[in-house]
Copies of this chain bind each other. A is one copy, B any other.
Amino acid sequence: MSDVKQPVVLTGDRTTGPLHLGHYIGSLRARVKLQHEAQQFLLLADTQALTDNVGRHQKVTENVIEVALDYLAVGIDPARSTIFIQSQVPELAELMQYLLNLVSVARLERNPTIKAEIQLRGFERDIPAGFLTYPVSQAADITAFKATHVPVGDDQLPMIEQTNELVRRFNNTVERQVLVECEAVLSQVTRLPGLDGKAKMSKSLGNAIPLGASPDEITKAVNSMYTDPNHLRASDPGQVEGNVVFAFLDAFEPDVQKVDELKAHYRRGGLGDSVVKRVLNERLQALIEPIRTRRREFEGDRAEVLNIVRRGTMRAREVAGGTLSEVKGALGLTYFDQ
């Protein structure tokens, strides 16, 4: 047994749809590794998804088990990682309520992530209060588990900053070190483009390859990928930059030399799109096949999946409940404890 404390990781996903290759490359792959080095909490963020899905609650709740299936399919081990449902851990809502007093409305409005997302979602002046305050909800999620490390994209850095501000304000207010500051762990892989090359991969934009895709769906998706529109004949020189097929090869083909050779060949001409796509297709088929198989296995035993999530949620409540007790204790909200 080591004396060094294991890092605690909090991460998760909004449950608005099944996960896809963008999630795999951006986070899931790292989580499968991380669970051997850290205590990992995986949040099925249904409550957070509801903040900008009013009236679409059915979509949010139906996808909770879909995302759990994706976790298990890629190799998240419930014995190593705690998979839990946000809405079933009421301690998070309580903690959020106390943190809400420690941040000003002006500070929340200045949060660049919130600003960008307000624009993206077209909220403008009609931001739901739950959406403006969701960074506080995130801070509650992170601090409830005393997470030391939070994997994020660089667009999420302001969230981590805000969380640590809240931690410092809370600890200063109660004059005790109750909550713990966390460190952002930046993903090393650049964001996977969508099949159309236009934006990041996203289910709602219809440019994604889901983790449960069938062989045909994968082939169809690869064949539909945006390449170089000026690369009309195989003999023409082609462009690699902005070419989705090469972006995918960079992300998924571990043989870097092979990818470099393909790029060089493509650039000087003589390499047709169909050939490169065939290489990528083979790679993706090999990658997804075991994921799809495992996903189907778990799909056949939903009761077991529910049990896994139930056990994870119980464990999450235990840990979050411990932190909440400390928080309420520090504030003196302990009337019945004597």
Residues of A at under 8 Å CB distance from B? Answer: 46-47, 50-52, 54-55, 57-58, 60-62, 64-65, 85, 87-88, 90-91, 93-94, 96-98, 100-106, 108, 125-133, 136-137, 173-174, 306, 309-310, 313, 328, 331-333, 335-336, 338
Contacts and interface: CB of A to CB of B under 8 A. Distances in A.
A328 B125 CA distance: 28
B128 A100 contact: yes
A128 B173 CA distance: 14
Contact of A90 (B90, B313, B331, B336): B90
Nearest to A95: B93
A128 B98 CA distance: 11
A122 B85 CA distance: 40
A328 B46 CA distance: 12
Contacts of A335: 61, 64-65, 85, 88, 306, 309
Name A's interface SS. Answer: helix
Contact of A106 (B94, B101, B126): B126
Given A61-B333, A90-B90, A306-B338, 17 more contacts: A50-B331, A54-B101, A57-B331, A58-B332, A64-B335, A93-B94, A100-B129, A100-B130, A104-B125, A104-B129, A105-B125, A106-B127, A129-B133, A129-B136, A306-B335, A309-B335, A310-B336
A323 to B, nearest CB: 14
Contacts of A47: 97
A105 B87 contact: no
Contacts of A90: 90-91, 93-94
A65 B338 CA distance: 14
Contact of A126 (B104, B174, B338): B104
Contacts of A64: 335
- Residue among A87, A331, A335 with the highest chain B CB neighbour number at 10 A: A335
Given A90-B91, A106-B125, A306-B335, A101 B136 contact: no
Nearest to A53: B101
B133 A100 contact: yes
A338 B307 CA distance: 12
Contacts of A97: 47, 93, 96, 130, 137
Instruction: With a 10 A CB-CB cut-off, give which of A87, A105, A137 has the most chain B CB atoms.
Output: A105
B136 A98 contact: no
A88 B325 CA distance: 11
Given A125-B104, A328-B87, A331-B61, A54 B131 contact: no
A108 B127 CA distance: 11
A114 to B, nearest CB: 11
A128 B106 contact: no
A79 to B, nearest CB: 20
Contacts of A94: 90, 93-94
A131 B88 contact: no
A120 B55 CA distance: 37
Contacts of A105: 105, 125, 127-129, 132
Contacts of A58: 332
Nearest to A96: B97
A138 to B, nearest CB: 13
Contact of A55 (B106, B125, B173, B309): B173
